[in-house]
Structure 1
Amino acid sequence: MSEPTALVALRGASYAYEDGPVVLDGLDFDVHEGRALALLGRNGSGKTTLMRLLSGGLRPDRGRLTVEGTPVTYDRTGLTRLRTTVQLVVQDPDDQLFAASVGQDVSFGPLNLGLPDAEVRARVDEALAALDITALADRPTHLLSYGQRKRTAIAGAVAMRPRVLILDEPTAGLDPDGQERLLATLDGLRASGTTVVMATHDVDLALRWADDAALLTPSGVRTGSAPAMLARTDLLRQAGLRLPWGIAAARLLRSHGLLTDPAAGPRTPDDLAALASAPGTEPLPADG
């Protein structure tokens, strides 16, 4: 049985910045609908370049970008079509926000699509509600907290109703409560049909959140299920990443016969606590 066509894909894609080395070379990369995908790699590994190629901000020197198998054209019509399918939110919200108020900023993309005023208002209201910032609609953007600015930047992308939302380090700079609220928001977007791609250095977050993980290494990009890829110490070492604590905890539990299901390892501290309190669970033997 053949694998379904990727929603967005790069085929044989290469890119080098002017007067710089090749960043990506002959890359094949798929984003499948309905899968939460984490991009991980050391600084300079090409994560930002990859995200910009997927969203149309950069054009491959060689190769092609496709949407449901159809090559993207880089004229006005083709890029408009792409940006109603894929939206990128950069790491620093101050690089993306520019309007005087939250509502004005979120409305910018839909207005540029030439939509009727009623449709623009509906999209703005929907995006503000999805990010839980409806009360901030009239707030000047320069008076927002960092977390509020992050949510406003994401709302601007959500107002375009993309099928794929790409986020660059979305939890960076947020306190634990802000991270939890943002992850809950992303879960809501996924439940409504948005495919989410997240670039992150946080292997614990990737293990917890993602269905699939793509590790950018000097030998290329390796993609697979998040638990499997994040247990590959060889690839993690190449990518400049450490082993997630959840994988390490699962190995310890298995070594003591306390975990037999290979798919049941803890992804969060709450998962570990639930395993520890499950009926019939024996405590770990003491050292010595």
Structure 2
Amino acid sequence: MNQRQPAAATPVVELVDACFAYEDGPPVLSGVGFALPEGRATALLGRNGSGKTTLLRLLSGGLRCSSGRLRLGGETVAHDRAGLTRLRTAVQLVVQDPDDQLFAASVAQDVSFGPMNLGLSEAEVRERVEEALTALDIAALRDRPTHLLSYGQRKRAAIAGAVAMRPRVLILDEPTAGLDPHGQERLLKVLARLREAGATVVMATHDVDLALRWADDAAVLTPQGLRTGPAAELLADRELLAAARLRRPWGAAAAEVLRAHGLLPDGAPGPRTPEELEALASPAV
């Protein structure tokens, strides 16, 4: 007797056969399908000019597909006021440069802007602002003028403004760009807390090591289109990485060496951090 397989969960947000070209320009994306499952972390990778930022703006409603569809919870998003309001309460985009996003006099004022535009009560707005500031570890900066923040603080303040909307999907365009290693670690801890709270996160990045370490899934843009799948699988595909002009992650190279020396069984996950590599390479005591 055949058993029926469980139906795949509906993606939170999804592009279906999406095409886009800027005015008087060649196609940037053609026939792209990209689905974000609930609660997953996805790294979007590709060379400069491959269309990563365009893809993120299509997902968040900042751009409209030339053809194809954008779906939210399985329903096509209408690009009218009601449709875009529905989308933007569920999907929030944080752009690469925080100075393109921050505009209010203080951090708290900036973070409160989105919730206030939802027509929430003053008490609800205050609650969301405090929640977002705490989540991003910048509660002590609530009254600080945004122009006096460090670059890393401005990055976190911009993300806090998106988090205050309590989106189902948080989209980050190169969030670690310009951060020193300590700043990157602090940001990754913040993202880990957001994921534990149930957020679906997609991050565009050039950093293949970061993608392998952080992401459940990867989406790689090449001139031939978009390929998606488990991050460890895609980021070990030499041909795919070459087509995308990306180097191999050190973790994938280390896993190959470990398997050749019998230190890692076939099919076992490779190291994603130096600590994992040290544990795999050290003989058991």
Task: Give TM-score scaled by structure 2 length.
Answer: 0.97
Aligned residues: 280
Residue 96 of structure 1, aligned match among 98, 101, 123: 101
1:63 aligns with 2:68: yes
- 2:188 aligned partner: 183
Residue 87 of structure 2, aligned match among 59, 79, 82: 82
Amino acid at match of 1:55: S
* Identical-residue share of aligned pairs (%): 73
- 1:236 aligned partner: 241
- 1:166 aligned partner: 171
Contact 2:263 2:280 survives alignment (8 Å): no
User: Once the 2 structures are TM-superposed, how far is the Cα of residue 75 of structure 1 from its aligned partner?
Assistant: 1.2
- 2:204 aligned partner: 199
Distance 1:186 1:241 in 2: 24
- 1:258 aligned partner: 263
Secondary structure of the 2:284 match is coil
Q: CA RMSD in A?
A: 0.9
Distance 1:277 1:249 in 2: 14
Q: Kindly report structure 1 stretches of 4+ aligned residues shifted beyond 3 Å.
A: none
Q: Deviations over 1:80-117 (max 9, x none)?
A: 11011100001100000000000000000001111111
Secondary structure of the 1:84 match is helix
- 1:156 aligned partner: 161
1:44 aligns with 2:79: no
Structure 1: runs of 5+ lacking an equivalent: 281-288
User: Once the 2 structures are TM-superposed, how far is the Cα of residue 27 of structure 1 from its aligned partner?
Assistant: 1.3
Distance 1:94 1:105 in 2: 12
Amino acid at match of 2:282: S
Distance 2:210 2:41 in 1: 12
Distance 1:202 1:30 in 2: 22
Q: Deviations over 1:121-168 (max 9, x none)?
A: 000000000000000000000000000000000000000000000001
Secondary structure of the 2:171 match is strand
Structure 2: runs of 5+ lacking an equivalent: none
Distance 2:268 2:57 in 1: 33
Distance 2:267 2:184 in 1: 28
Secondary structure of the 1:14 match is strand
- 1:33 aligned partner: 38
User: Once the 2 structures are TM-superposed, how far is the Cα of residue 3 of structure 1 from its aligned partner?
Assistant: 2.1
